């Protein structure tokens, strides 16, 4: 269970979590999250994945300005200043929604895959992220550590890794090493969520140009890509695509299905416990 304390004075930003996670060199666990929020850490904050309804919180006392990977300070993002606009890359092998294709490593001779994600915001308040759920045969994660996101950047087997894209070409990247992937994993689901969507009344009608590109991790050649064309006001998170095993072969499904859930709601779907 991911334990999120609620008696803290202000929220830890994603940038703070990322920096702390990088510094300690290990994924954030419920114990390290708890310790980071303790008085001994010198930081007071609540690690917030979002909730199904707006919640009350104390007056926000934000830390001193820090530069984000996109070149903005935390304060600029909180004040609603838009991130630099991305140029949608050329997609050489585009798929339509639901057009499933084989990307099997043995057939293609690849061992590593890189999934690049991008989007633009029509509303500057939108702060979106991608997460990956590593699913077993029962349709759930085996435990909370198999949920990879900005606060837990590696799966337990080190096969799946989350990172911000510092090049400016994409927003975020999730890499998959099939040689390290635990054999119990039968599906990897990629989900886009808007941070504090319910609290700030945000939705996918405020997003545009969302896409996923899959690259061969060794050659950097595009395998397939998918560009989302439908954006609805009743959608607050979306499964953009999934890798899945079918008859012993890995395939990719450009799902493109949105729901009225935040990140905590998506976690509940796939068996990640949020307290």
The answer, yes or no, to whether residue 100 has pLDDT greater than 50, is yes
Specify the pLDDT at position 136.
98
Q: How many CB atoms sit inside 10 A of residue 170's CB?
A: 20
Per-residue pLDDT of 218-232, as tens digits, reads: 999 999 999 999 999
Its CATH architecture, for the domain 94-269, is Sandwich (2.60)
| CA 257 to chain CA mean position, Å | 16
- DSSP for 30-64 reads HHHHHHHTSGGGT---B-----SS----PPP---S
Confidence check: pLDDT of 60 > 60: no
CA distance 47 to 18: 12
**40 and 5 Cβ atoms separated by less than 8 Å:** no
253 vs 81: CA distance, rounded Å = 34
Cβ density class 252-273: b for 16+ within 10 Å, e for less: bbbbbebeebbbbbbbebbbbe
More confident residue, 120 or 28: 120
What average pLDDT does this structure show over 123-145?
Answer: 97
* pLDDT tier at 83, thresholds 50, 70, 90: confident
Lowest average pLDDT, out of 16-25, 100-109, 117-126, goes to 16-25
For the chain, give every domain's residue range. Answer: 14-78, 94-269
The predicted model gives 231-244 an average pLDDT of 98
Measured CA to CA, the distance from residue 263 to residue 4 in angstroms comes to 13
137-156 tens-digit pLDDT: 999 999 999 999 999 999 99
What is residue 264's three-state secondary structure? helix
Per-residue model confidence (pLDDT) at position 252: 98
Reported pTM: 0.74
Task: Indicate the pLDDT class of residue 274, thresholds 50, 70 and 90.
Answer: confident
Average of per-residue pLDDT values in the chain? 79
């Amino acid at each position: 269970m991911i334990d999120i304390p609620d008696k803290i004075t202000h929220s830890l930003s994603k940038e703070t979590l990322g920096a702390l996670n990088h510094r300690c060199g290990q994924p954030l666990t419920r114990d390290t999250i708890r310790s980071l929020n303790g008085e001994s850490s010198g930081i007071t904050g609540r690690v917030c994945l979002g909730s199904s309804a707006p919640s009350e919180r104390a007056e926000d006392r934000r830390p001193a300005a820090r530069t984000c990977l996109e070149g903005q300070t935390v304060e600029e993002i909180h004040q609603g200043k838009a991130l630099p606009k991305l140029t949608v890359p050329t997609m050489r092998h585009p798929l339509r929604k639901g057009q499933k294709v084989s990307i099997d490593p043995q057939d293609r001779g690849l061992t590593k895959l890189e999934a690049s994600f991008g989007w633009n915001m029509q509303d500057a308040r939108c702060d979106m992220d991608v997460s990956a759920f590593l699913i077993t045969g029962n349709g759930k994660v085996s435990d909370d550590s198999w949920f990879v996101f900005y606060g837990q950047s590696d799966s337990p087997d080190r096969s799946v890794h989350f990172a911000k894209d510092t090049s400016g070409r994409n927003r975020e990247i999730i890499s998959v090493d099939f040689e390290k992937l635990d054999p119990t994993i039968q599906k990897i689901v990629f989900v886009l969520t808007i941070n504090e969507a319910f609290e700030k009344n945000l939705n996918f009608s405020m997003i545009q140009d969302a896409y996923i590109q899959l690259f061969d991790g060794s050659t950097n050649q595009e395998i397939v890509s998918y560009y989302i064309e439908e954006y609805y006001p009743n959608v607050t998170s979306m499964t953009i695509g999934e890798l899945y095993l079918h008859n012993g072969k890995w395939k990719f499904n450009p799902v493109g299905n949105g729901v009225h859930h935040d990140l905590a709601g998506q976690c509940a779907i796939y068996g990640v416990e949020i307290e």
